Amino acid sequence: MDIESFVLDVVGVVEETADAKSISFAVPEGAAEKFAYTPGQFLTVAVPSDQTGLAARCYSLSSSPHDGGPLTVTVKRTADGYASNWICDNLAVGDTLRVLPPSGIFTPKDINADLLLFGGGSGVTPIMSITRTALVEGAGRIVVFYANRDERSVIFADELTRLAAEHPDRLQVIHWLESVQGLPTQEQMKAFARQYAGFDSFVCGPAPFMKMVTSVLKELEVPRELRHQEKFVSLGGNPFGDVAEIQAAEEEIAAAESDDDAAAADAFGDLPAGPVKLEVELDGEEHTFDDWDPRTKMLDFLESKGVKAPYSCREGECSACAIRLVEGDVKMIHNDVLDKDDLEDGIRLGCQALPLTDTVKVSYS
């Protein structure tokens, strides 16, 4: 079952830097509930492509759901990025873009908490959404560490300056420029982060940047529940199931994947022979089922039960469907986004999960 997509009107295009633009959308009448979001979430967009029909990409929302502004993503060009360059070169006010509703779990559970936010380059986009929202809705302190190549690369420079001036008791922004200070070292980052070890920490940016920050937070013994990192990979699959150019190919792929899934299940002799008990915590509600077929992926099973579990790509290529194991174990058929640390922390992808134990308990929070 494909998630419902929407065609949104572009109502604003702002050039943030020479390489980055913010794109604002109007939410269609009657779709406000579908596009309700929490700070730090992302949109999946369909960019037209001559080769594949479309390129599906995830871009973080930089807007806040609580300040009255439009739904906005910020996109930075990448050297070989077809989608990012197409968006920056082509989208203008009055155009339309096919979009999936907001998704993702890179969002504070408590907007009143003290927040330590690390952004590297365009990774500041969800950080900006969280900052804007926390200043409007929250009461805690906010510390933003923002790393860039040089001053010209700083997205939202003027707004961050303005917000810090308007909220001197709550918001502190630290800019780190490689052109001035060089790349931050592990020890420099550790010295900085140590004074905020009790804050709820979020990091988004290039992989080496996130790896270093996460390593520092672990060294400082920041609890796992206070460490969050955002990850995206380019989606190879098509979550927009009604695109005519590739619909036939998608059906063939789906059939092949179904066969692969069954073969993968057969390859694991320790899969339960009969139905599995599944307990799920989602949006503060508990769901319990006793008839999960071990050959059915968790997301598919939940959908068959009417549970609206989050997802985006369905291919194991994004983190929209991420779950945390509370009890039992699962096998993932495909995983292109979770690393060793994520797996050790019990994080799995619901769209790719098959049960390995008679009872599985998971949480989406």
Q: Which CA distances in Å does 59 have to 56, 255, 301, 311?
A: 10, 29, 28, 15
Residue 71 within any structural domain of the chain: yes
Per-residue confidence (pLDDT) for residue 1, from 0 to 100 = 42
Same domain, 189 and 285: no
Per-residue confidence (pLDDT) for residue 178, from 0 to 100 = 95
Same domain, 146 and 225: yes
Same domain, 219 and 270: no
Same domain, 42 and 86: yes
Which CATH number do you get for residue 210?
3.40.50.80
Per-residue confidence (pLDDT) for residue 263, from 0 to 100 = 47
Which of 103, 128, 158 represents a domain boundary (last residue)? 103
> How many domains, in total, are found in the chain?
3
Residue 17 within any structural domain of the chain: yes
Per-residue confidence (pLDDT) for residue 32, from 0 to 100 = 93
Which of 71, 103, 135 represents a domain boundary (last residue)? 103
Same domain, 83 and 161: no
Same domain, 127 and 191: yes
Q: What domain range includes position 308?
A: 255-363
Which CATH number do you get for residue 293?
3.10.20.30
Same domain, 165 and 201: yes
Residue 241 within any structural domain of the chain: no
Residue 245 within any structural domain of the chain: no
Low-confidence ranges of the chain (pLDDT < 50): 1, 243-257, 260, 262-267
Which CATH number do you get for residue 11?
2.40.30.10
Same domain, 216 and 119: yes
pTM given for the model: 0.77
Residue 250 within any structural domain of the chain: no
Residue 1 within any structural domain of the chain: no
Per-residue confidence (pLDDT) for residue 232, from 0 to 100 = 61
Same domain, 30 and 82: yes
Same domain, 212 and 137: yes
Per-residue confidence (pLDDT) for residue 253, from 0 to 100 = 41
Residue 143 within any structural domain of the chain: yes
Same domain, 12 and 99: yes
- Give the other-Cβ count within 10 Å of 248's Cβ: 9
Same domain, 183 and 129: yes
Residue 40 within any structural domain of the chain: yes
